[in-house]
């Protein structure tokens, strides 16, 4: 099994878990993909917001530039100077956005 294949399987498994958590597992695959893509964008923005809260103001423009560029290694190197546990920050932002999304969906059902 290739690393790319393993990565794809992990992404698929994570997507299935999130779909189950959001109670959208019974939705058609294309609708699930659309919801997960939108949620991914929201989470990405939330992560950036949390990062910007933790870095010096002078570094923020460079962080934003790198965040939207393809230079992940330069971004990681810069973030490591200011954020001890990036995985925890991402998990926190993701959980907050997922909880908000689930809450919104439940309110819409009422």
In a domain, 102, yes or no: yes
CB 78 within 8 A of CB 63: yes
Domain that holds residue 57: 28-109
* Cα dihedral 57, 58, 59, 65 in deg (nearest 10): 100
Q: What is the pLDDT of residue 105?
A: 75
Q: What is the pLDDT of residue 34?
A: 87
Q: What is the pLDDT of residue 2?
A: 47
The secondary structure of the chain in percent helix, strand, coil, rounded to multiples of 5, reads 80, 0, 20
Q: What is the pLDDT of residue 80?
A: 92
In a domain, 87, yes or no: yes
In a domain, 97, yes or no: yes
Sign of the alpha-carbon torsion through 15, 21, 23, 26: positive
Q: What is the pLDDT of residue 107?
A: 79
Comparing CA positions, the residue from 109, 107, 89, 100 lying closest to residue 39 is 100
In the chain, count of helices (H) and strands (E)? 5, 0
In a domain, 48, yes or no: yes
In a domain, 50, yes or no: yes
Q: What is the pLDDT of residue 8?
A: 58
Count of domains observed in the chain: 1
Q: What is the pLDDT of residue 94?
A: 86
In a domain, 2, yes or no: no
Q: What is the pLDDT along the chain (110 residues), one digit of tens a residue?
A: 445 555 555 566 667 777 777 778 888 989 888 888 888 888 889 989 999 999 999 999 999 999 888 788 898 899 999 999 988 888 888 889 888 888 887 777 66
In a domain, 63, yes or no: yes
In a domain, 8, yes or no: no
Q: What is the pLDDT of residue 63?
A: 92
């Amino acid at each position: 099994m290739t690393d790319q294949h393993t990565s794809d399987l992990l992404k698929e498994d994570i997507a299935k878990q999130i779909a189950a958590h959001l109670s959208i597992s019974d939705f058609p695959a294309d609708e699930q993909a659309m919801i997960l893509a939108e949620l991914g964008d929201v989470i990405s923005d939330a992560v950036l917001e949390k990062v910007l809260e933790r870095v010096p103001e002078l570094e923020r423009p460079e962080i934003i530039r790198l965040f939207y560029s393809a230079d992940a290694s330069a971004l990681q190197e810069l973030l490591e100077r200011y954020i001890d546990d990036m995985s925890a920050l991402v998990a926190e932002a993701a959980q907050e956005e997922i909880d908000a999304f689930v809450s919104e969906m439940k309110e819409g059902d009422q």
